Structure formats: C-alpha cells, structure tokens
Chains A and B, each alone.
Chain A
C-alpha cells in the first residue's frame, strides 16, 4: 500500500473523488445532525428536573382541601410517610436524595406558597443557593426564611426584615430569584424543613385531608445512578401505590409528545436512509472509477503486483476517500448543529408539579420550560460517524477491489 500513490489517485481524479466524498459527506452530515437533534430533545427533556438538581421527583395525589385557611396541602402533593421515605431513599441506584414539604398558607392578609427544605442538601431545592440575589442562603439549625424575589417585591420585603407565616415570624436571610432556576418546586417563601413539618403537623386542614406526622414530607427529589432512572421510578411506584406521581426525563419526553416522537423516529429513518444512500453513492462512484482503471490495474499486475497488493492499494484509497468524506460530513454537521441550536423548545410542566394554585392569577395556565435546543455533536457521535465512514470505505473498497484484482493482465492488455 503506497500512501503517495493513493493521494495522487484521489487528487488527479477530482471529479470522481469529489462525487464520492461529497456524497458521503452529505450522508454523514444528515446522520450526525439527526442523531444530534434527537439527543438534543432528550437532553432538553432532562432540563426541568436537572435544574432542580434531580433525576426523579416523587409526589402523591390526594383530596382537595375543604377549608382554605391556614396551612393546607395542594391536592397534588399530600403526605409521603417517613417509612416510605426511608424505603425509597435506600433503593439501589439512589445516588442522592432530598425531601421537601410544600404547603399553601392562607393567612388573613395574604396567601403564600411555602416550601420546607434541607438547606445543607445539594439535591433538590438546595440548588437555589446559586440563585441568591441578596443576603445569604438558609443555614442548618437556624429559623430563617428565604423569600422569592417577586414575592419580596410585592410585599416590600428585604433581607433583614421579618416575614410571618401561619403565625410564626422568621427573619429574612436572603432573596432568591427562583424563576431563573426552575419551574418545579418554586415557592414564595423557603423555610427550614423542620419548621414547615411542625406547621403542617399542627394544621387541622392538613390533617383532615392527609394525616401528617412531623417526620413526613410531600415531595422527594432523587438523583439516580446512570441508566437506572426508569428502574428506580418503577420501584418507587411499587412503594407509593396508585396515586404516586413520579416524574422522570422519560415522562417529560412523553409530554413533548408527537414532536419528539417525530424527531426520534424521523432521525432513525433518516439516518438509515442516509447510510443506504451514502453506500450506494460510494459504491456507484467507486465501481465506475475501478472500471475506468481496469487497464491501470492490469498494468500493476503485469509489472508484478500481486492480488493482495492491488486489493490493499484500492481498499486504502477507498478508506482514505471515505475518511475524508466523514471528516467533511462532520464539519457540515457541526455547522448544521450550530444553526439548529438557535431553535427553542417549550417543555410542558405537568400541572401537579406546578405549585401555584389554579385559583390564583396564572395558576391555571399551562406551564412550560422554554429553552434553546441543546444541539451539539458529541465526540462519541463524531467518532462513530468517522469510523462508520471508514468502514463503508473498507467494505465497499474490499468488495469491489477483490473482484477487479482477479483480472488477468493479459486480458486487459489485449484490448487496450
């Protein structure tokens, strides 16, 4: 195999080289772009949960509160018992775990969505630490409140003020802009978990709808081991029963519905077509090229090249040509991915995960997480495409060259 000879053959047979290379590049670009697009939708579907620092959220549906006074549970998030929490937190595949308690508090002068959190836990609402706009985050063991920015503005609350919730007064430790972080588990006021547990346990309205002990919770956030999200979700449903509401990236993908299904299936079909068309283009171009070079191959054999020498030379040329086509296709795909990255996608948030009551302004509106489609060509995808291109070159080159290498030089020279 002589690399110099290969390069010259490709260089001086520009029309055929360009036809095969561009054909393969376009096919590979389609394959890479469609797969990158499909991965982008999958990645986008992870974002609502990723923003809250979890892979899975768990809630339980219950009855509608009868009396909207004091602390009440939303019908989408009623009690998850301590023993259930312990069983779930120890399931295989759980890498991180947090619990929270969401309560609607109807005080005489205002309504507030209150979320009890563990400030030291990075999973779940702990990610709000990065969205502080003023003051500091909650500290473990301190009875303080964190106030959401728009709520603070409406009620003229600042860091250092106090806020009263269900008759209890808390100093405002800081202001947080939760709207920038997530659409899930957003609240007006964030309090230490123990404070909200005491509040809920003492509430007649809560107990009337869903008996609650001070160690229970009503939202769980779970970080799962890679590849175990669906299995974990299944196990959680077994523990929680029929009324469990378990959100995973897959459930968000389902909510993208036909858009994702179309993209996913379309990507598969398009990829297959791209590979087949690419194969045919390369096959046809190379077959024509080799037919054109029959005399040349006869000469190679006449001057002492063995079948193996001829095959390795032609396969090498084919691989080189397809490798270049693959690289070119990768560049096309990167450009296409950059363009597609300007597209926006709106991911519907399930109503049960939106903490705002439907009777409040905007509470009944469908919630969406809108983001730019994270289209990017991964190293793995790029590597697979380049390898696939080279493999196409090797297979087609091998198939065609083995046939043509069998020609007898005398047969070729006789008709030249």
Chain B
C-alpha cells in the first residue's frame, strides 16, 4: 500500500461454512477515487464491500483502510473506526422508523460527546445540502424512496468520512430518482474529493464511476 491508497486489500477470502464467497481478491482504491463493483446476484460483491468497509472480517487476507490494518481489529474497534472514517448508504435505506429525518442523519453522533444543538445543526446542514431541510422533522414512513435515500446519504456524511460505501444505493428507486441520487453521489465525489465504493448490478450506473471492478463467483475479473 502506498499513501495514495485509501483501501488496500490483499488475498482476501471469505467463507460461509463450506461456501467460499470471496476468493483471493487483491484490490487497491485510490484516495478520491470512485469505484463501482459490478456483478450478478451472488457474485460476492456485497460481501466484498462488507470486507473492505470493516463490517465483515475476512476468513484470510488483509484489509488496510485509511492506513490502518483492520483485519484483526475487535468488533468495538471496528465500530469506532467506522464511526470516524466510513459512511454507508444501503439499498434499503435502513433508517430508524421512530426517529425524524434529522435525527436519523445525526444517528452516528448520538454516542459522541457533542452538544445536542451542534448535532442538530450539523444534521440540518447536510439535509439542506440534500435539499431535504423542509422534511427534517418527518419520520421515514412519511418520506418517499428518494427522500429516504437522501436522508441516508446525509447520515453517511455526518461524520465527515474519508470514504463512503454504497450498496445498491438506487436499487429500490425509480429511474428519475436514481438519476438524482447518482448526481448527488457524483457531486460528493467531484466537489469534496470523497472516495466512493459503490456496489451495483446496473452497468449504466457503474459507467459514472472512475473505475469498474467486475466480480463473478467471488473473484475479481478486472
């Protein structure tokens, strides 16, 4: 790994019982790079994203994320590392149904010792960037799919992450909303220099990235 890499994965393998889902993956992602991982369902792309982001530990191999070897970190160390370094956007949004939009955005900061007012200000600022400020007090059940994903993106950014991992971020959205969300992600990458790793099965979407990584049967093809 050199200083230009935000991620460096070496000989990464992941087994679930006897099933090998990720096989000998070697992968570097540069700082500020937008990488799309594509492949059919079951190709291992989501598992690879989990391994790269520290959500999952590999069966063998190493992952260095932002200069830190996270392979042998404990669950709590990984949680704190994710809070400080990583943002996530999921296909199913994964918003907390009892919290309002701004509270969902601020969720990663709840355990952090900052004032409630500062936390709220930061969340509202991000919602403003997502053009969602007017929906700040609404709960997820009253938001459309596109609005939920904007809230989820704002949540991914609340901790000023160095890299955002997006797993099928437009998988549950219609085409118009997909374009809008993709535009937001591209802007974040272009304007803020944010590293972005996106898993998608949509090749058109992947075309927007700097680099496409294709997966098949747990292996990286290119």
Contacts and interface: CB of A to CB of B under 8 A. Distances in A.
Contacts of B84: 304
A289 to B, nearest CB: 12
B83 A303 contact: yes
A173 to B, nearest CB: 75
Interface in A287-346: 295-296, 299-309, 313
Contacts of A9: 98
A409 B76 CA distance: 12
Contact of A302 (B55, B97, B103, B111): B55
B80 A306 contact: yes
Contacts of B110: 2, 5, 305, 309, 313
Contacts of B103: 4-5, 8
A4 B110 CA distance: 10
Contacts of B55: 302, 408-410, 413
Contacts of A408: 55-56, 75
B193 interface: no
A13 B75 CA distance: 29
Interface in B54-107: 55-56, 75-76, 79-80, 82-84, 88, 90, 92, 94, 96-99, 103, 107
Interface string B148-185: 00000001000100000000000000000000000000
A313 B98 CA distance: 14
How many A residues touch the partner, as a band? Answer: 20 to 34
Given A12-B98, A303-B82, A408-B75, A413 B111 contact: no
Interface in A397-416: 406, 408-410, 413-414, 416
A146 to B, nearest CB: 73
A300 B82 CA distance: 11
Nearest to B92: A416
Contacts of B79: 301, 304-307, 309
A299 B96 contact: yes
B50 interface: yes
A408 B46 CA distance: 15
A414 B49 CA distance: 11
B116 A4 contact: yes
A302 B82 contact: yes
Contact of A308 (B76, B83, B88, B108): B76
Interface of A is mostly: helix
A408 B47 CA distance: 13
A5 B116 CA distance: 12
Which of B55, B82, B155, B159: most chain A Cβ within 10 A? B55
Contacts of B155: 303
A11 B155 CA distance: 23
B88 to A, nearest CB: 6
B50 A306 contact: no
Nearest to A298: B94
Contacts of B90: 413, 416
Nearest to B97: A12
A2 B111 CA distance: 8
Most chain B CB within 10 A, of A9, A308, A406, A413, is at A413
Contacts of B56: 408, 410
Nearest to B165: A302
B98 A302 contact: no
A300 B99 CA distance: 13
A299 B92 CA distance: 11
Interface string B124-161: 00000000000000010000000000000001000100
29 contacts: A2-B110, A4-B103, A5-B98, A8-B99, A8-B103, A11-B98, A12-B97, A299-B94, A300-B107, A301-B75, A301-B79, A303-B82, A303-B108, A303-B155, A304-B79, A304-B80, A304-B111, A304-B159, A305-B108, A306-B76, A306-B79, A306-B80, A308-B76, A309-B110, A408-B75, A413-B50, A413-B55, A414-B50, A416-B92
Interface of B: 46, 50, 55-56, 75-76, 79-80, 82-84, 88, 90, 92, 94, 96-99, 103, 107-108, 110-111, 116, 139, 155, 159
Interface of A: 2, 4-5, 8-9, 11-13, 295-296, 299-309, 313, 406, 408-410, 413-414, 416
